[in-house]
Chain A
């Protein structure tokens, strides 16, 4: 498939999602299931990454701001802003593109290859609506929540590394966090989180849903889904930063 037919097929899948559900209760159940899978399933990795991300940025910022002329609170401010603006939404979403994206593509790919999607179609179920839509909605609900959690844990990780490493005291760090805080940054981060959540879930669903062949193709689809999602996340990151900041 060339790029134009791929985009066309992607848009066609998106358009096909919007039909009236056959049974709202079943769709709600599927949405909840997907939200749990995507949200709770990624909680551990997001927590670990976020704490270390904040810790490393605190240590490295302290290393780069060795000048006695700069107040120590600056370290907290830099950690806070880098975590909120970039690390929590972008880095976490790139990790989620790997964790969630490959899972979605693998799951749908396996369903396609083992004819489970055909079985649903023959029952008269719109599989794009029943299988893809809950994944996208589940990602839109849970990924921004994971990003907020990542912001909190990242900032806390910076505090932990700062105090444990004797770089600055807890009180200094907290004071720094309160200084020059721009609430718009949080909204900007959330806008990124929603955009990336949509990219991860829809791109991965597209590659998984359209798998043709066998086990090898499922693996290929997962890899393509992750790579494409990562590239689109970075591209969208630049576009959003350019227009919103």
Chain B
């Protein structure tokens, strides 16, 4: 497959691993920001191929993991209304709310559909004029353009029974929050390639300068990830810090202007609550006033009690890379993918779920630190 197999080449991987091994002289903690990168590291078994001195910290870039509990409760509340069709991306369904998950209320009779594109939800609304169609608009900057287009389409066609429940979060403010945490020991970042495809790379320059930390915009295939890691280590070993773009075959410096334009039209930047991390200033998208008719938060009177996270779950420390999943007292005992206490154990992009599988292997294969 063009543009895939080349980046899964075993010889190239070996070459890069050798280079990393030869370059690294001391322990470095590098955070891969995006859940897709975590997923790829685990799926391809890369974590146990890296030298011991390279410690990968799994970042907060898993949209499912950082969606606040009370927003999931809101989605569940809406889905249970008799005239509502709630549409969502697939892996949001299994995430536990305070009492139930969307998958459970679906089994109880709620009309919940898994879609790949929010534009399909607009079509669904046109086909079902007597129903309220709500799209659970979760994700980072990557899913924002399609969600923006769905709102624009509904606005233009006056599809008044379509709305979105927004939970959009932004990567750079989250990286900044991680860097500002005094307990953080992260020395470099692999920035999320897909997010930069949309947004470009310019907003990362100030972060590099302010925190004097290397950031490498990185793709998702094994060769991408190893090259990104090597670029970080080369900088770290020389005591340098700058922004580099490993994923230049896809990411342009200015990003995707049309996509950015759609986002700019529909969304404004607001403070947002991150599950496990807390409130981060200017870290999320909200619909602009012009599109309030399509904002499920305003359209429906939803009163959800403030819920308290499970006190045994240390998702916040994990999302910030301060603790590793297997250092949690609940890991693998009271908290498993089957019965997750927190979101990072749910999604295959979540660090805990990834570690749960990896850790099992390591009991038998090699030891992990």
Q: Do A and B come from one complex?
A: no
Q: Which residues of A contact B (CB under 8 A)?
A: none
Q: Which residues of B contact A (CB under 8 A)?
A: none
